[in-house]
Amino acid sequence: MTGVDLDEFAALIDRPDPGLRHDAKERRKRTAAPAGTLGRLEELGDWLASVQGQVPVRPLERARVVLFAGDHGIAERNVSRRPAGSAADLVRSVLAGAGPVNVLAQQFGAGIRIVDMSLDCDPSELPQDVVRHRVRRGSGLIDVEDALSAEEAERAFLAGMAVADEEADSGTDLVLLGDLSVGGTTPAGVLIAALCGTDASVVTGRGSGIDDLAWMRKCAAIRDGLRRARPVMGDQLALLAAVGGADLAAATGFLLRCAVRKLPVVLDGVVSAACALVAQRVAFRAPDWWLAGQTAGEPGQVKALDRLSMEPLLDHGVRMGEATGALLALPLLKAAAALSAQLPELAEPS
């Protein structure tokens, strides 16, 4: 692909092979695990066979957390518990190994990659491999102005695609997609409300743990953003430019390119769910390559996953972000892969 031609994705993305799901089920019938006894692990093993393109499946050995980072101008409306422009602090914490994502990634054997798309800090403050895809510092206040210019939205989308190619080429076998943002759940709420045709109050959650007054401000910001989103509903890149942000545009491009490259992705919270919803509008087969790791108790996420016909693997109410919820699903997926790959077939009675 050169530039961004969204129509190409519908042609490039195929569904995972349903025949391999069938083959995985047939193989399981020849093992010591009677049908239904492994519960959802069976379904996950069949899914892994279809996305990997082989039976038995390969063990998951190179999982990677990918975190798109950015500051959102709407945080200036006091819609987040964190101060506006402070997402770089979250990034520094993870780089220092001090975040919950670090503990879980080490525990479960996953690497971590941070991609700065729009942090509001001097790029010299962070490592070059983090900042090299940056599009701008912060995003616009989406209640009154566009988050990005059209050119910035395209650059961010293409950057997400490039990151997907880098991960696929490096041998990553599963991505756990999250975000490091301040104010990010507000544009996510706008995108979900717009694409699901619902009211702002239905998708407004507590995000970072805001109080009632902040919730009302957030609801008003989503309502105003929704008015600005409706005129560009037919153009997904224009929608991301108007009411998204560079990190959301990048995550959307990333999800679509992962589907092209047949690289499975586990979604984390409301932000990745919103990006998945935009990506579904581009290519309706793409969600077959993704799983919802967990439900975070955010009403917007529930709405988006329902529209995507995705049932979360876990329900622990983890609202931390940083792909922590997606990481919690990794042991379950590793167990499903190991069982599917390693259970021996029984000898046929003579």
* Shared-domain flag, residues 244 and 287: yes
* Shared-domain flag, residues 68 and 54: no
Give the Cα separation of 105 and 31 in Å (integer). 32
Give 147-175 pLDDT, tens digit per residue. Answer: 999 999 999 999 999 999 999 999 999 99
Has residue 350 got a pLDDT over 70? Answer: no
The verdict on residue 349 lying in a domain is: no
Work out the mean pLDDT of the chain and round it to a whole number. 95
- If 0-12 CB within 10 Å is exposed, 13-18 middle and 19+ buried, where does residue 338 land? middle
Structural domain span for residue 23 = 7-58+337-342
Has residue 29 got a pLDDT over 90? Answer: no
* Shared-domain flag, residues 162 and 13: no
Tokens (6 digits) for 106:
């080490």
Output the domain CATH number for residue 231: 3.40.50.10210
- Find, among 317, 300, 120, the residue nearest to 218 by Cα: 300
Give the Cα separation of 329 and 122 in Å (integer). 35
Give 256-280 pLDDT, tens digit per residue. Answer: 999 999 999 999 999 999 999 999 9
Give 280-314 pLDDT, tens digit per residue. Answer: 999 999 999 999 999 988 999 999 999 999 999 99
The verdict on residue 347 lying in a domain is: no
Has residue 126 got a pLDDT over 50? Answer: yes
* Shared-domain flag, residues 275 and 144: yes
Lowest-pLDDT range of 23-37, 59-73, 259-273 = 23-37
How would residue 36 be classed by pLDDT, with cut points 50, 70 and 90? confident
Tokens (6 digits) for 140:
């616009």
* Shared-domain flag, residues 184 and 293: yes
- Which pLDDT value is given to residue 336? 96
Catalytic annotation present for 151: no
* Shared-domain flag, residues 135 and 68: yes
pTM: 0.96
283 Ramachandran zone, left/alpha/beta (phi>0; psi -120 to 50): beta
* Shared-domain flag, residues 39 and 97: no
* Shared-domain flag, residues 150 and 132: yes
**Structural domain count of the chain:** 2
- Catalytic residue of the set 42, 167, 298, 322: 322
Has residue 182 got a pLDDT over 60? Answer: yes
